[in-house]
Amino acid sequence: DGTYHWIEAVANNLLDDPAIGGIVVNVRDVTERKRADEQLARQATTDSLTGLANRTVLLDHIASALARSERTARLTAVLFLDIDHFKLVNDSLGHAAGDDLLITVAARLHDFLRKGDTAARLGGDEFVLCCEGLLSYDEAVDLADRVAEIVGDPVALDGEEISPTVSIGITCACDESRKPEELLRDADVAMYRAKERGRARSEVFLPSMRVRARARLEQQLDVRRALTAGQFRMNYQPVVCLSSNRLAGAEALIRWAHPRRGLVLPGEFIPAAEETGLIEPLGTWVLGQSIAEAAAWNRESPCEHGVSVNLSARQFASGQLPHVIATALEVNELEPRRLCLEITENLLVEEPEEVTSVLTALADLGVAIAIDDFGTGYSSLAYIKRFPVDVVKIDQSFVRGIETEGENRAIVEAVVGLASNLGLHVVAEGVETAEQLRIVRDLGCDFAQGFYIGEPMPPEAFGDLIAGSGTR
């Protein structure tokens, strides 16, 4: 049938044996064994999905390229690529489509290679190119730009056409004083910097990035230890009802009681928690703590709204959020209507189908849903009304300067008018003066919060505030 087989033959000289008087040849087909050996050899050097080199081969090739660079006085560049929003492809189109995208990107990288270059897949959606013989860093940047352009051609996946983008980190060396592992690490650090700065771009490694990466790692470890050690605390910022001038509830704000640095604000540690996945257990703790403390206040002096809690995108993605909240409400005997959950408008835009199902489940529990920092993202109130939303919180950037800036005043007035027509309550954030409070009240905002009304405070202090709450 035209196929080839591997044959193993063993000849035995039995010419002197009177019973045989000849040479006996034993033959057997070893094709399957040979194929298995070749497969093992391939697995030791290539990525099984894409056929590109693996990490071991890549490091060997980088080492060889550096040795040649030392002789030729030319640069070896390492380009570290990560496909932007790859998880979204897996989640929305399925893992088979994700694999197809990886295979397509790998094929495009392979076709892009010049003679002597190496392309490797390190796992997940991470790829690396080793390109030698360059004259300058500018040439490495030009290569990265061309790679991004080639990878970005449209790809048909499960009936959908997408145009993938990549974040690329670049580093170069011209001698063997830099180790392959060091170059790979530095390119990885630069790639993460590209992601931090908006994705779909390249960044050249700078030594300061290594310091930044090490500090980020230390912070991630610190956050993990702090969660285990119980160093996080909740503070509560008062929210007032503008029609009655009475306390309506509070927004729950996490703080880190750091043993050396004192009280650390969330902007300094939430990004680290999100990168490590600790945002999920941390968010669960915040929900449980806030609900428990709101239940304690309401047993003493019931207030209208209870507590508002911020949610992260990672909490939505886990799929456990409605169950976690329902359990916490039941355990602490808090009425669902006294809990308000805050999400950003960008979450609605980026993950509309996934968010809709979770929000619907939460609304069915009877809790309120608020859009936080409204006006800073890309959505409109008409778009938001597609979701089970009850409250819009106007970002403090529109309240700041509202006394003198007519544009901010017009924006707040427009949001209030449309929200009222849609049956949504409006909260003005960042109220810091009596005049700002007067204006947002006159414009029709339902609630307000900010330093003029009250700074974030420990739960005991907020409990005392509830007990003696009156008008402002």
- Domain locations in the chain as residue ranges: 7-39, 47-205, 217-467
CA distances in angstroms from 105 to 58, 139, 143, listed in the order given: 17, 22, 16
Query: What is the predicted pLDDT for the residue at 50?
Result: 94
For the cut 80, the answer to whether the pLDDT of residue 215 exceeds it is: no
Report the pLDDT averaged over residues 274-296.
91
Give the residue, 352 or 369, on which the prediction is more confident: 369
* Res 195 pLDDT > 70: yes
pLDDT at 329: 96
* pLDDT at residue 376 in the model: 67
Task: Determine the Cα–Cα distance for residues 113 and 53; give it in Å rounded to an integer.
Answer: 13
Question: Is 285 exposed, middle or buried (CB count within 10 Å of its CB: 0-12, 13-18, 19+)?
Answer: middle
Q: Which fold has domain 47-205?
A: Alpha-Beta Plaits (3.30.70)
Query: What is the mean predicted confidence (pLDDT) over 14-42?
Result: 80
Helical H runs in 73-118? 86-93, 95-112
DSSP 114: P
Buried-state track 436-449, b at ≥16 Cβ within 10 A, e below 16:
bbebbbebbbbbbb
What is the average pLDDT across 41-53? 83
In 3D space, the residue among 397, 421, 422 whose CA is nearest the CA of residue 408 turns out to be 397
Please choose, from the candidates 88, 120, 87, the residue with its C-alpha nearest in 3D space to the C-alpha of residue 105. Answer: 120
Residue 471: pLDDT band (50, 70, 90) is very low
* 123-138 residue pLDDT tens: 899 999 999 999 999 9
Q: Is the pLDDT of residue 38 over 60?
A: yes
Q: Can you tell me the mean pLDDT for 211-236?
A: 87
Q: For residues 351-376, give the mean pLDDT.
A: 86
Q: Is pLDDT of 346 > 90? A: no
pLDDT greater than 90 at residue 307: yes
Mean local confidence (pLDDT), 363-378: 85
- Judged by average pLDDT, the poorest of 76-90, 215-229, 236-250, 354-368 is 215-229
Domain 47-205 and domain 217-467 have a common topology:
no
Distance separating alpha carbons of residues 172 and 161, to the nearest angstrom: 35
For the residues 346-373, what does the mean pLDDT come to? 85
CB 411 within 8 A of CB 380: no
- 77, 170 in Cβ contact below 8 A? yes
Task: State residue 428's pLDDT score.
Answer: 96
Average pLDDT over residues 303-325: 84
Task: Specify the CATH superfamily of domain 217-467.
Answer: EAL domain (3.20.20.450)
The mean of the pLDDT values for the chain is: 89
Out of 29-33, 220-224, 276-280, 338-342, the most confident range is 338-342
d(CA 417, CA 424): 10
Residues 6+ apart with CB under 8 A from 243: 446
Six token digits for residue 268: 């300094």
The predicted-structure confidence for 76-97, as pLDDT tens digits, reads as follows: 999 999 999 998 888 778 899 9
